[in-house]
Amino acid sequence: MIARPTPGCSPLVATAGRRVTDVLSEPELTTRPEDGWDVPLLVWRAAAPLRAVSSGPLGGGIGVRNWIVNATVPMSYHRDDPAEHLAALADRLGLDGPGVGLLTGVDVAEVVHRVDTGVRAWATVGLGTPVQAAAPAPAAPAQRVGTVNIVVYVPAALGDAALVNAVATATEAKTQAIRELGLAGTGTPTDSVTVLCPADGPAEPYGGPRSTWGAPLARAVHAAVSDGGSVPCVPWSDRRAAE
């Protein structure tokens, strides 16, 4: 069974149909069977191939992508082949062509969605292990949920430099939100950012926080991370164990 979202965590309701915004669908909440449990995952499908930049374990880099998967895993997750694991999940879901795969200990049903001037941002927010990027590594690894996965759709084509700049802008907006939440960190050790845009059309050259599309991207990401991080987030596996 799926662990139910914590009140106030902006849960996503699964539906039979998917509302399409431009060429990228709203994420569908579904499950896959693992170890006797129905483990949640989110699936975005593109009606046409999209250009993307991603730091995800599957489909990272810059290229054309057809789908995104954000999959919940238990805090005990120890596989050393996350790309292969995500590729198998995509195959089970019948997803064709190249895509992006992400993992998190957060219950992805708690995804937060914010929109600003046509830019759409989704975030699953786990801030149990905030770190300063340049701080020394801790003596022992943390066991609290700590991954922020951000997916952004920009409704205009972006050049390669603008895509990379958009990742920096999204990261800056995330860090601003984390600081405003009162946490001493720039992010967590396992965060990821994925930015998608149409593959066709004149390419915008800039993605910085004062550019045409970077500014609304920053605001949408900031709002999603702020709202997602403002409530306690219990790891999905902890909630499952308590049932």
112 within some domain? yes
**Per-residue model confidence (pLDDT) at position 140:** 63
Domain that holds residue 31: 20-234
Q: Return d(Cα 120, Cα 224) in angstroms, integer.
A: 10
Q: CATH number for the domain including 194? A: 3.60.70
User: Considering all CA atoms of the chain, what is the largest pairwise distance in Å, rounded to the nearest integer?
Assistant: 52
Nearest-CA neighbor of 124 among 133, 114, 111, 137?
A: 111
* CB contact at 8 A, 100 and 49: no
Is 135 inside a domain boundary? yes
Asked if the structure places residue 173 within a domain, the reply is yes
Average pLDDT over residues 86-99: 98
Is residue 241, in this structure, part of any structural domain at all? no
Tell me whether residue 6 is in a domain: no
- Over range 71-95, report the average pLDDT: 94
Instruction: Pull the structure tokens for residue 70.
Output: 């954000």
Number of domains in the chain: 1
Among 112, 149, 109, 108, which Cα is nearest to 127's? 149
Task: Establish if 136 belongs to a structural domain.
Answer: yes
How do 28-34 and 37-54 pair as beta strands? antiparallel
pLDDT digits (tens, 9 = 90+) for 13-68: 333 333 334 589 999 999 999 878 899 999 999 999 999 999 999 999 999 999 99
pTM for this model (two decimals):
0.89
In a domain, 9, yes or no: no
Q: Tens of pLDDT along 102-114?
A: 999 999 999 999 9
